[in-house]
A and B are shown apart, each in its own frame.
Chain A
Amino acid sequence: MKKLKKILGVLVIMVLVATGFGFYLYTKKPADVRTLTSNYQLTATTLVAAFNADEKLANVKYLDQVIDVKGIVTDIKIDSAKQATIFLDGGDPLAAVTCSFYNEEAAAVKTIKPGEEVIIKGKCTGKLMDVVLNKCSIQKKL
């Protein structure tokens, strides 16, 4: 009888832990890229050149990776929904680096002007016309 109680107890705990873990996974928010360590540090020109040279290879290397990109700001867009984007010169008239920011970063983006050199941290999502980073934040003004 005592043994049965013990087994039942263990079972109940196991179910609780499993449910808890399931719930944790279920409600877990995506990692805040701002708190992650960058896997790569490079310039906007190098990043664009890598994608221009071999997009497949560049995807394997940079996709989903947190990257610090250094470059000259060519344009800044902040829309009414506080969605902020900075474009970095990619050394190619047809391809820049598009950096889409966290909405809370709009205020920081406002302090940047075209022509300035900055380091931006973000997650690489691939290349359309530009190489795109999302979940960006400004690391440093140079």
Chain B
Amino acid sequence: MKKTIIAITALFLLQTSFAQKRFITKTGNISFSAGTALEDIDGVNKSVTSLFDMATGEIVFTLLIKGYEFKSSLLQEHFNENYMESDKFPKSTFKGKITNLDKINFLKDGLYPATIKGTLEIHGVTNNVEATGNFKVSGEAVTSTSDFVVLLEDYKITIPSLVKDKIAKTAKIKVNCNYAALK
């Protein structure tokens, strides 16, 4: 009996000391669409860096504006030069915290709804945002997904009146990041 208790305790200690606390990805995917019925406008970024700490709930996403890929070269040019001014504002960053951390077990497989609160910087403007999404845990891998909407006006992204029927006033953002434990 004593031996069993010692063995279980040892196993437990071993497990906690091996448990990874931080997760990282450099190949996250964040796409957006800001088109209307008149035109499809979507871009995808496949090299998003994101990091989170499962103990504190702190989470960061950061990406390079020039990393967005488009179907049309004209769109890409306008996106970088007129709307996002990517030479002046090359990066976009979200920093925040998972607010319902107590309901997520990163060590147990499952799909966990999450709420995240923090600050989002786009086009040199920082705003407080709150978004909902999911963490999917399967073994060592964790995937974060989220859909949320950004109002272009909030980030001082102005649309010339000539094309205002083609570009939506909001952008739908889609997040899909596959993390691995940070060694």
Chain A positions near chain B (C-beta within 8 angstroms): 25-31, 59, 63-64, 77, 79, 81, 83, 85, 87, 98, 100, 125-130, 132, 134-135
Contacts and interface: CB of A to CB of B under 8 A. Distances in A.
B46 A85 contact: yes
28 contacts: A27-B72, A28-B72, A29-B72, A30-B69, A30-B71, A30-B73, A63-B66, A63-B90, A64-B66, A79-B178, A81-B29, A83-B46, A85-B26, A85-B46, A85-B47, A87-B26, A98-B26, A100-B46, A100-B47, A100-B67, A126-B64, A126-B67, A129-B49, A130-B26, A130-B49, A134-B46, A134-B47, A134-B69
A29 B71 contact: yes
B134 interface: no
B98 interface: no
Interface residues of B, number: 22
Contact of A125 (B26, B66, B87): B66
Contacts of A29: 71-73
Contacts of A83: 27, 29, 46
Interface string B70-98: 11111010000000000100110000000
Contact of A134 (B49, B67, B91, B178): B67
Majority SS of interface residues in chain A? mixed
Given A26-B72, A63-B66, A98 B90 contact: no
Nearest to A101: B46
Given A100-B46, A132-B67, A85 B62 contact: no
Contacts of A26: 72, 74
A77 B72 CA distance: 27
Contacts of A64: 66
B63 interface: yes
Most chain A CB neighbours (cut-off 10 Å) among B63, B67, B69, B74: B67
Contacts of B63: 128
A126 B68 CA distance: 12
Q: Is the interface of B mostly helix, strand, loop or mixed?
A: strand
Given A28-B72, A28-B73, A128-B47, 8 more contacts: A30-B71, A30-B76, A64-B66, A79-B27, A79-B178, A100-B27, A100-B47, A125-B47
Contacts of A77: 27
A98 B73 CA distance: 23
Interface in B96-118: none
Contact of A128 (B62, B70, B71): B62
B74 A98 contact: no
A53 B35 CA distance: 40
A64 B66 CA distance: 8
A52 to B, nearest CB: 16
